[in-house]
Amino acid sequence: MENCLMLMILCYMVKLITSDSVSVRLVNGNNPCAGRVEVLHDGQWGTVCHRDWDITDAAVVCRELDCGTAVKATLNAHFGQGSGSISMSNVYCSGSETALKDCRSDSRYVQYCKHDHDAGVVCSDSEQRLRLVDGFHLCSGRVEMLRTEGWGSVCAAAFDQQDAEVVCRELDCGAPVQVLGAAAFGKGDAQMWTQEIQCRGNESQIDICQRSSSQKHSCSHDNDVGVICSG
């Protein structure tokens, strides 16, 4: 009899979480398809504890947000710590659910979680060919571009204000505030970008910009360029 009562209580607790209208969003990533998972519960946004968080749970979030497939389920506040409540813990998705609210979860363990346990997601539609690294916020840092061999930094001598305009626009970071050379945001650890970028400044993406056939300047990671955008 006691076991049956405990089971009824557990089912009721799960129902409280899953029956409400719960929306989901990804916060603090470079784009809407990567970031810390937050759910809207009782009119407030709260984070998800990384207890039992895995790629199957991430797949449901990516599907719900129309962000493709799950690439990574992140733990330990990979996208920074949230604030306010922790809304869900011990999420159990089968992978077939259309929304995170349809997955089972257990509110009993929320009290044991802190924001350094916030869960995150990287979806396939978040893959970009441009990023800012080691800055003091998401819209500042060392400029790196993706190529076949991996991420590569850009030489300051081959980078100007027009290029910065495109970088900030593509990353949805507003307008460029400052272009910094001399590895202001640290030295990259990959090869340098070998082509000189020649943007007019009105392009929507860096890949649209023209490039010279070869790099005219002799550069090392001491010359890595960085950008600070207004966003």
Per-residue pLDDT band at 216 (split at 50, 70, 90): low
Amino acid present at 81: Q
Check residue 157 and give its pLDDT: 83
| 164 vs 102: CA distance, rounded Å | 43
Same-domain pairing of 58 and 138: no
User: HEC states along 166-180?
Assistant: HHHHHCCCCCEEEEE
21: pLDDT strictly greater than 50: no
**Residue whose entry in the numeric block shows the structure tokens 């507003």:** 174
> What residues form DSSP beta bridges with 39?
24, 46
Q: What is the CATH number of the domain that holds 141?
A: 3.10.250.10
Same-domain pairing of 59 and 134: no
Looking at 1-5, 175-179, 200-204, which range is the least confident one? 1-5
Is pTM beyond 0.95 here?
no
Counting the structural domains of the chain, the total is 2
Q: Average pLDDT in the 27-50 region? A: 88
Q: Average pLDDT in the 56-68 region? A: 93
**60, 69 contact by CB (below 8 A):** no
Per-residue pLDDT band at 214 (split at 50, 70, 90): low
**204: exposed, middle or buried (C-beta count within 10 Å: 0-12, 13-18, 19+)?**
exposed
Last residue of a domain, one of 126, 148, 182: 126
Same-domain pairing of 140 and 78: no
DSSP 192: B
Percent of the chain with pLDDT over 70: 85
Q: What is the pLDDT of residues 113-124, one digit of tens each?
A: 999 999 999 888
DSSP 138: T
207: pLDDT strictly greater than 60: yes
Same-domain pairing of 44 and 153: no
CB within 8 Å of 193: residues ≥ 6 apart? 145, 147, 152, 153, 154, 155, 215
Q: Which SS3 state, helix, strand or coil, does residue 84 take?
A: coil
Same-domain pairing of 96 and 136: no
Check residue 217 and give its pLDDT: 60
Q: Cite the DSSP H helix spans in 20-105.
A: 55-64
Looking at 80-84, 163-167, 184-188, 210-214, which range is the least confident one? 210-214
Neighbours of 136 (CB within 10 A): 9
Structure tokens at 101: 């609210």
**52, 14 contact by CB (below 8 A):** no
Rg of the chain over Cα atoms, rounded to whole angstroms, equals 22
Q: Which domain holds residue 104?
A: 2-126
